[in-house]
Structure 1
Amino acid sequence: MIPEPDSAPVFLSSAALSAKIRGCLLGGALGDAAAGAAAETQSGSGMSISANTQLALYSLDGLLEAIEWANEGVGADETACVWLAYLRWMRGQGLPLPEAGPSPLPRPIDAEPLLRPEGTGAGDPDVLSALSTGEMGTRQRPLNTGVDTPAALVRSAPFGLLPYVATETVYKLALDAASLTHGHPSARHSAAVFASMVHGLLAPGATLRSAAESALAQARENGVPDFSDRLQELLADDGGTDPAGAGTAGRTPAAEEALAIGLRAALAVEDAATEDTDLSAATAAAIREAAAAGGTSAAVVAGSLLGTRYEALPDTDLEALREGSVIEKLAAGFIASTIAP
């Protein structure tokens, strides 16, 4: 399935794509940390890598493994590679792998100190319950069909970073990967729409609003017009509605609520931006607003989208995620494997 040179849209230059890939990954990690994620594994400057960011990075690593096989002329099931990556993550947290499931071979990411479990907590219980079954959920037979939380949403931006393929491919990759742990339509399609928004921002001249509208069109084509219509109302809003109305204090928002809150926060930056706008400061403010309104998941959405859109991120605690970090290593490997020099 990867790559699709004959059906792919036009994308940015290699340098611009590389910047957007890094911006997306760093923006998501900043959103996670800004929301006060449960994980407490600290880097030298105080930035944490929680289970949310860890699983997003393992999403990227699973996709990267499939690409590496493809580059060697060997076919690989992308979703299976992602599933094995999540099992490797679970093993790295000191949790036993299910007896009925496979024991995946280690990859370099597994040895990264910032992804070790000290102080990070066990991770999302629905994710762990699905992975502990030893069963690989599929789009046709997803796991946890009654769970509509945003745990799959926050790990799905990396699927949108795959260049040179059609958005429909990205949508289905993210849908399949979400189905590994979250089978509710809201959870699965929120993840797929989010990834598709990120992917749309890789096109020359794309705006966040145009990428969002394209992603919602993909949702309609994939048989969920009601879901698409609910999020389309957000895009049509003139800004007079408080995005916090989508959530309720003290509870985890549903996946589509978290997506809506994060998207609104990001769109507010784009709509207000001028040549004089300090985009780093605006991004930091949007992440805080999304976190206050919708918690970690909404902040991850806002950070990922704005990091991809503008690559302008606040410097506070950012150096801990840059040079020599697991994010930089993974980004560099992904860029080298996917983007023509």
Structure 2
Amino acid sequence: MTTTALWSRAQQQDFRARVRGCLLGGAIGDALGAGIEFHSLDMIRGNHGPAGVRDYVRAYGRRGAVTDDTQMTLFTVDGLIRAEIRRDGGTWPAPEEVHRAYLRWRVTQRYQEPDPRDPALGLLGRQPWLHSQRAPGNACLSGLDDDRMGTLAAPKNPESKGCGTVMRSAPFGLLVDREAAEVFRLAAECAAQTHGHPSGILAAAAFAAIVHGIVRGGTLETSVRQALGLLAQWGGHEETTAALRQALDAVRQGAPSAERLEALGQGWVAEEALAMGVYCALVAEDMRHGLLLAVNHGGDSDSTGSICGNLLGALHGETALPPDLLAELEGRAAIAELADDFALELTQGAQLHGPDAASAVWSERYPQG
């Protein structure tokens, strides 16, 4: 993958397919786990058969419904696009733009429809289907209850390491024009906006680094090992490092199973959710197999499904997505459109805006402020 401003047509097509795969794959995994998120493994098997869930289960009034995991992931993308546009002014205020995006997500959890008078909403903020509470995490909500932005030096919720940081951080890894260490740090900075425990911050950063390695053409295992190298440079990395090493070890311990997955944890905390999603992606025979393994356990099924889907989608691209699951996915068209906009911004942004002029349509989709 190129790291310069010059992209060949083949590179642009490959990148767009990976971005689409990452965002749509994560949303499919999220939706597969949405209806069983709080169920034990015994309950899942009792309700759906020995193999567990094999298809979408109704949640939030429909099949294929996504949760806060997908919602916040999309707002991460929105913030990163706006940060890229602001590079025209000589700065790259990515943490600030992502924070503003998360505040816009917070509004969707308070009001049932967008405010048409708000000029800052842009394309994503005007989507009525996103104005719905889908079991958002307490730390994500409380961390965004006021305008103060948490930082690495002064994070919000300093004792929290819930998986709400990891499940929204795949888009940082799609910044392939940045180096891995920069992507890692940016994801860490944005995780601190809601969660302050080192494992909550560093699991999100490691996840972004893994996605980054994949989209740049690396294997999943190589990308995990590169992330471990980055983790080792940060204080407080021990829990996340141990969890990822346990995931790598589990691959060699026998055939994949729900019981083997549950040995890695339940996914409610960040390092466990990361390890479980990584394990399922590593042992996946194909996209469907990995996603179903990732959700059929007695823990945070939507988050582990989302993480696994992000990884497999980034690795294999959109054509690997199960077509029947893709067809029924809530918000499919909007997610694909946002993915295309992200790819367009990174590969051809200079033709859409600059210091002296900008596309009026692009400015309306991603306004400043």
Is 1:292–2:296 an aligned residue pair?
Answer: yes
Match of 1:304, as an amino acid? Answer: N
2:79 is aligned, of 42, 59, 62, to 62
* Post-superposition CA distance 1:133-180 (Å, at most 9, x none): 332100111111111110111000011111211001110111011100
Matches within 5 A, 1:23-34: 23-34=21-32
Runs of 4+ in 1 over 4 A off after TM superposition: 3-6, 320-324
Is 1:47–2:64 an aligned residue pair?
Answer: yes
Give the SS at the match of 2:89: coil
Partners of 1:49 and 1:115 within 8 A in 2? no
Give the SS at the match of 1:40: coil
> Displacement, 1:69?
1.3
TM-score with structure 2 length normalisation?
Answer: 0.77
Could you list the runs of 5+ residues in structure 1 that have no partner in the other structure?
7-11, 97-102, 274-281
Is 1:181–2:194 an aligned residue pair?
Answer: yes
* Post-superposition CA distance 1:6-63 (Å, at most 9, x none): 9xxxxx8111111101000011001100002576265xxx422321101000001001
Query: Matches of 1:212 and 1:4 in 2, distance apart?
Result: 20
Identity rate, percent: 32
Match of 2:339, as an amino acid? Answer: A
Shifted more, 15-24 versus 286-295: the winner is 286-295
> Displacement, 1:75?
1.9
Match of 1:166 in 2: 179
Is 1:81–2:87 an aligned residue pair?
Answer: no
Match of 2:106 in 1: 90
Partners of 1:259 and 1:298 within 8 A in 2? yes
2:129 is aligned, of 114, 118, 127, to 114
Could you list the runs of 5+ residues in structure 2 that have no partner in the other structure?
38-58, 113-117, 350-369
Query: What number of residue pairs does the alignment pair up?
Result: 309
Provide closer, same or farther for how the CA distance between residues 104 and 180 of structure 1 changes in structure 2, counting only shifts above 3 A.
farther
> Displacement, 1:322?
9.4
* Post-superposition CA distance 1:179-223 (Å, at most 9, x none): 00011111111111111111001223x111111111111111233
Partners of 2:64 and 2:330 within 8 A in 1? no
TM-score with structure 1 length normalisation?
Answer: 0.83
> Displacement, 1:235?
1.4
Matches within 5 A, 1:302-321: 302-311=308-317, 312-321=320-329
Partners of 2:65 and 2:329 within 8 A in 1? no
Query: Matches of 2:202 and 2:335 in 1, distance apart?
Result: 26
> Displacement, 1:340?
4.5
Query: Matches of 1:41 and 1:138 in 2, distance apart?
Result: 37
Matches within 5 A, 1:84-233: 84-94=100-110, 105-117=120-132, 120-121=133-134, 123-204=136-217, 206-226=218-238, 227-233=240-246
Query: Matches of 2:30 and 2:161 in 1, distance apart?
Result: 19
Partners of 2:31 and 2:65 within 8 A in 1? yes
> Displacement, 1:258?
1.1
1:258 is aligned, of 273, 280, 287, to 273
Across the aligned residues of Structure 1 and Structure 2, the Cα RMSD in angstroms comes to 2.8
Match of 1:277 in 2: none
> Displacement, 1:291?
1.2
> Displacement, 1:236?
3.4
